[in-house]
Structure 1
Amino acid sequence: MDDYDQYDLRNATFGEFVGFLFDRDVVPIPMQGNGSPKPWYWRAEVAFDSTKVASFYIALFTTPDTVLEDYSPEQLNQGFWAIQSSNLQCAVTKVIWDQTLPFDIRESCVRSMFHLYELLFSKVPLETAADMWWDSIAYDWHCGIRARGKGGEDEQMQDVIFDTLGKILRLPSEECQMAALHGLGHLHHPETSPVIGAYLAQRPEIARDLKEYALAAARFEVL
């Protein structure tokens, strides 16, 4: 990977890890074939310790409002895209499936994402990263890479994600609710329909477009 930038996070502090993710010039994701510069995390080769990175993610998600106050919304959006990106070796989407880590650590990492929505995404408007977060995490069940019927971690992690999305759905922020509905629409958990039904029953004055999106999520028909 001679054309990749090399990073070694094995001895990084939490502050250095946060800077690695967010202290970057913002580069829009290029349209195919337009020759624009690529975001930094598309060309990063990273040496890291999974246990340490998982603990850093939990700390970041639990206290995002204080940790990230020095970064612009554009830097935050790009950083959270890096965290969920399949391009980045130490992305959270890879860490939560790293079976060298005990499942309870990976479960804690997912559950801590509730606080990310509660404390940051509900308050700081980001362009796309908050809405697409659960698409990145839950889409494997939508396309059949993972299936509840296989049991094991496919079922265990699906339940953890479902519980977390349910909590986010109860936040007052409509942006957070939309993100949760997006994730539920891809996760294909068997209890999705009653949870969304209860959500709608508690909000009789809900906007028409949000209601329609919720109903589509209950049918697993969101994009």
Structure 2
Amino acid sequence: MKKAKRLTAAQQRRLGWTPQGVGLAPELYAAALRYLFDRPEGRQDGAWYWGADEADFDATPLEWTRIQTVLFANAGTDLAGYSDEQVGHGLNYVMNNSLSDVPFAAIDASVPLDEAMRMMDAMPTLWRDCIGPRLAHVHQPIGSATGALAHVCYMWFDVWPTFWNVKHEPRWQAAVWQVLREMLDVPCREVQVAALHGIGHEQQRLNRRDEIDKTVAAFIRSIDRNDQNLKNYAQAARQGRVL
């Protein structure tokens, strides 16, 4: 009899990234998806959250943290039925504290640090399985791609206030750096640019100067020799000089 193949640590974690696996009511997760993404695109600016009568979604900080964990881990499949604009606007609501308090959920005093770290552990999958495939066709001057999803991709670590508020916490430093490292490996130029943008902004707060230098240097060596703009941007990020 053949032995069952042992799951990798990443596969074991992935199996736990379900509503039931994180202790979240499936119906609450389904309702959150509808709230964030099941929106008409008829508004002139496309942004449903500017509606004056838009009610907040009723969830605790711990529930929002768990919603994000499951969302990040399963966005490739769970958001497959939504357009890029719907996905972009929904993710913007999640990342941008000018639109919601969701970015503060994972750092709320009521949320155990292990829960926040599980959310961060799931975050690279959002870029790898959802944002990357959706933007893989884009090859525009750095920072110039248009649309809600391109905005979220490029601006996440510029706008997202979560890390700023816990920047001295070593586990948060390690978690954010792991996300950015994994984003550099996503075969999508826009995601790689977003990772470099984040590295450039967060370099000092990540507290790992040598590791960043070596990682970005290796990335620069891997870039197509004809893509000088990306090489230049990577060099700027390596030195903490991005806008």
Asked if TM exceeds 0.5, the reply is yes
Q: Which residue of 2 aligns with 1:103?
A: 113
Q: Which residue of 2 aligns with 1:201?
A: 221
Residue aligned with 1:101, SS: coil
Superposed CA deviations along residues 45-104 of structure 1, whole A, max 9, x for unmatched, are 44322222211111111111211122111111111111111034442x212221311111
Say what the alpha-carbon RMSD is for the aligned residues.
2.9
Change in CA separation of 1:140 and 1:110 when aligned onto 2, cut-off 3 Å: closer
Identity %: 25
AA in 2 matched with 1:216: A
Report the Cα distance in structure 2 between the residues aligned to 1:70 and 1:123, rounded to whole angstroms. 14
Change in CA separation of 1:11 and 1:69 when aligned onto 2, cut-off 3 Å: closer
Report the Cα distance in structure 1 between the residues aligned to 2:79 and 2:57, rounded to whole angstroms. 22
TM-score (norm 1): 0.78
Shift of residue 205, structure 1, vs aligned partner: 2.1
Q: Which residue of 2 aligns with 1:192?
A: 212
Residue aligned with 2:150, SS: coil
Q: Which residue of 2 aligns with 1:181?
A: 196
What number of residue pairs does the alignment pair up? 200
For the 8 Å contact 1:73–1:124, the answer to whether it is kept is: yes
Report the Cα distance in structure 2 between the residues aligned to 1:196 and 1:165, rounded to whole angstroms. 11
Larger helix fraction of residues: 2
Q: Which residue of 1 aligns with 2:36?
A: 21
For the 8 Å contact 2:32–2:67, the answer to whether it is kept is: yes
The answer to whether the aligner puts 1:156 opposite 2:171 as a matched pair is yes
AA in 1 matched with 2:233: Y
Report the Cα distance in structure 2 between the residues aligned to 1:41 and 1:201, rounded to whole angstroms. 50
Q: Which moved more, 1:14-23 or 1:205-214?
A: 205-214
Report the Cα distance in structure 1 between the residues aligned to 2:224 and 2:73, rounded to whole angstroms. 32
AA in 2 matched with 1:95: A
For the 8 Å contact 1:158–1:187, the answer to whether it is kept is: no
Structure 1 unpaired stretches of 5+: 1-9, 31-35
Change in CA separation of 1:215 and 1:124 when aligned onto 2, cut-off 3 Å: same
Shift of residue 198, structure 1, vs aligned partner: 1.5
Q: Which residue of 1 aligns with 2:126?
A: 116
Matches within 5 A, 1:9-48: 13-26=28-41, 27=43, 39-40=50-51, 44-48=55-59
For the 8 Å contact 1:65–1:119, the answer to whether it is kept is: yes
Q: Which residue of 2 aligns with 1:214?
A: 234
Report the Cα distance in structure 2 between the residues aligned to 1:28 and 1:140, rounded to whole angstroms. 32
